[in-house]
Amino acid sequence: MIRSPAFWDSSAIVPLCVNQPISSRVHSIFEQAMLVVWWGSVVEVHSAVERLHRERQLNDEHRIGALRRLRALGAAWREVLPDNAVPELAAEILAKYPLRAADSLQLAAAMAWRPNRATTRTFISGDERLCSAAELEGFSVFYLFSR
């Protein structure tokens, strides 16, 4: 089966690394959609894993397993690297939508990955505000939670 590429927000990657209530749904999406991520995703997901560990939602063994899964995913995903267009796009996005800085960088990277706005690309996220902005920017959005 050929998996089509989709842009994955960091919030959608965490359930691939850490067992969460939504993990089985995210794994089924992963079987159909290749990961395209922004260059900061590895840091964001690593931060989420460490936060869950500090909050004692993950024990040492689960933390190690989550980070191992993150490394495996990172070895296979396509990463949108920073270039001059991404910060400029992120600044424009912040003026248009109520997003945090990292979310605007993720959406800007997704937009740089899809330079031809006529091309429909999929955007996967668990963040409702980010999904709304991506939808307004012409992405086919897959929101991981009900709206």
pTM: 0.92
Strand 33-38 with 4-8, pairing: parallel
**Residues with Cβ < 8 Å from 35, sequence gap 6 or more?**
6, 8, 13, 73, 76, 77, 78
Domains recognised in the chain with CATH numbers: 4-143 (3.40.50.1010)
Q: pLDDT, tens digit, for every residue of 40-76?
A: 999 999 999 999 999 999 999 999 999 999 999 999 9
pLDDT of residue 1: 54
Which residue in the block uniquely carries the two structure tokens 């689960």? 62
